[in-house]
Amino acid sequence: MDLASLLLTWYDQNGRSLPWRGSRDPYIIWVSEIIFQQTRIEQGTGYFLRFADRFPTLDSLAGGEEDEVLRLWQGLGYYSRARNLLFTARYIHEHLGGKFPEDFDSMKKLKGIGDYTASCIASICFRQTHAAVDGNVYRVLSRLFADSMSIDTQAGKLHFKKLAQQLISRDRPGDFNEALMDLGATVCKPRSPSCSICPVNSWCQANEKKIQMKFPVKAPTREKSGSVINYLLINAENHIVINKRSGKGIWKGLYELPMIPGELAPVDLAAECLELYGLKVNSLTEIRRVKHLLTHTELDIRFYSAQTNAVNNRTDNNLLSVPIGKIEQYPFAKPLVDFLSSLQEK
């Protein structure tokens, strides 16, 4: 049997049962693929179910508010994914008559939809032969062919995409893509591949030579640089001052405590606070320090308790004074969610 047939036979009996499996609705497949791009299935399934329950159709999402979309996303990280989902849903609703494009190249022109997501949608919903290659698939392919091409270089990505494109089933392209993903997630796992029960072990060169753990090959990683940000907890009369983040950056559109970047002494933070937010703080005390890992950097986050004049109902400089009991209505990035929840537990 050829590789695709072996994989599909295995998939028919062993494929994972997931809430979006079986759907041919491009909107549902799109949402699921975006959520699971940087998120494990166990972690993201609840998010998917809540999102699809609140926004079951593209039109319903197009009519949604950014704050609500971000709140549903809260804790998943990589918030540009949620903002792009909303932007593109509105774009399709307004400019494409609410109909998801079937053409592969048209899909890739939509904001937030790259080659991988477009390949999933095109193959699963429209039976087009586009191989979807993600981290799991890179690993399986590099082991199957004992292929030393680095999976994290542009050349490597193109190389494995081409290879997958040669192998994909012409009859069942969507199932083939999902079979390879499932094989990577459940059998050809990163640290302990279960080669004895693998449906394609007779094909696998790494298995034959017992060199599975040498693959996939990655280019040397660059050093992660660190940066310091300071959050000011201004807590007066059961209200907390928050600020909606504008400008660029991964947390754009989310709320946060008044933030000041840089390694600064309290006296300099107070001066910056006046300059940036027009708030005169009388004293600053560091109350917590946490590290937060992003893709290419590690944030050193410092939380300060700040004493200031009454700030209730203040709305200048984009600041909002929100009752502590209502803080959960606003979307925040993970480090702030953790910090604010710990305050409420006290």
The least CB distance from residue 15 to ligand SF4, in Å, is: 16
User: Taking contact as CB under 6 A, which single stretch among the options 38-46, 94-102, 167-175, 203-211 is the one that binds ligand SF4?
Assistant: 203-211
168 scored as a contact of ligand SF4 (CB under 6 A): no
Structure tokens given for 100:
């998801």
Q: Does 140 bind ligand SF4 (CB under 6 A)?
A: yes
What is the rounded distance in angstroms from the CA atom of residue 43 to the CA atom of residue 41?
5
Told to check if 7 binds ligand SF4 by CB under 6 A, we report no
Closer to ligand SF4 by Cβ: residue 176 or 304: 176
Pick from 207, 230, 243, 308 the residue near ligand SF4 by CB under 6 A. 207
Nearest distance from C-beta of residue 215 to ligand SF4, angstroms: 8
Q: Which is nearer to ligand SF4, 191 or 222 (CB)?
A: 191
Quote the tokens at residue 128: 């087009």
| Residues in 142-161 at the binding interface with ligand SF4, rule: CB under 6 A | 143-144
Token representation of residue 298: 């590690």
Strands (DSSP E) contained in 73-164 are none
CA–CA dist 118, 114 (Å, integer): 6
C-beta separation of 240 from 184 below 8 A: no
Distance CA 36, CA 185 (A): 12
Instruction: Using CA atoms of 144, 146, 151, 156 in order, give the dihedral in degrees to the nearest 10.
Output: -100
* Binding span for ligand SF4 by CB under 6 A among 55-63, 94-102, 188-196, 284-292: 188-196
Number of residues that bind ligand SF4 (CB under 6 A): 15
Give the one residue of 188, 242, 319, 327 binding ligand SF4; rule: CB under 6 A: 188
Cα-based distances in Å from 131 to 73, 134, 165, 218, 302: 28, 10, 5, 21, 44
129 or 207: whose CB is closer to ligand SF4? 207
Placement of tokens 């040498």 in the chain: 214
Catalytic residues, by residue number, are: 33
DSSP 55: -
CA atoms of 346 and 343, how far apart (whole Å) = 5
CB of 35 to ligand SF4, least distance (A): 26
Asked if 137 and 161 count as a contact pair (C-beta separation under 8 A), the reply is no
| 3-state secondary structure at position 110 | coil
In the complex, the smallest distance separating the C-beta of residue 159 from ligand SF4, rounded to whole angstroms, is 18
Q: Indicate the residue among 122 and 141 with the shorter CB distance to ligand SF4.
A: 141
Q: Which is nearer to ligand SF4, 52 or 198 (CB)?
A: 198
308: which strand partners?
Answer: 281
Of 108-116, 124-132, 155-163, 201-209, the window that binds ligand SF4 (rule: CB under 6 A) is 201-209
- Which positions ≥6 away from 46 have C-beta within 8 Å? none
Cβ proximity of 127 and 29 under 8 Å? no
Residue where the block lists tokens 């040397």: 220
Q: Where do we find the tokens 């809430």?
A: 19
When asked if residue 163 is in the footprint of ligand SF4 (CB under 6 A), the reply is: no
Residue in 76, 168, 204, 311 binding ligand SF4, rule: CB under 6 A: 204
Can you tell me which of 3, 92, 185, 200 binds ligand SF4, judged by CB under 6 A?
Answer: 200
41 lies in the binding site for ligand SF4 (CB under 6 A) = no
DSSP β-ladder status, 297-308 and 225-236: parallel
136 binds ligand SF4 (CB under 6 A): no
Residue span 216-245 as binding mask against ligand SF4, x where in contact by CB under 6 A, dash where not: ------------------------------
DSSP 333: -
Pick from 59, 69, 57: nearest CA to 28: 57
Query: Closest distance between ligand SF4 and the C-beta of residue 176, in Å?
Result: 15
Stretch that binds ligand SF4, among 51-59, 137-145, 222-230, 251-259 (CB under 6 A): 137-145
Instruction: Write out the residues near ligand SF4 by the rule CB under 6 A.
Output: 140, 143-144, 187-188, 193-195, 198, 200-201, 204, 206-207, 212
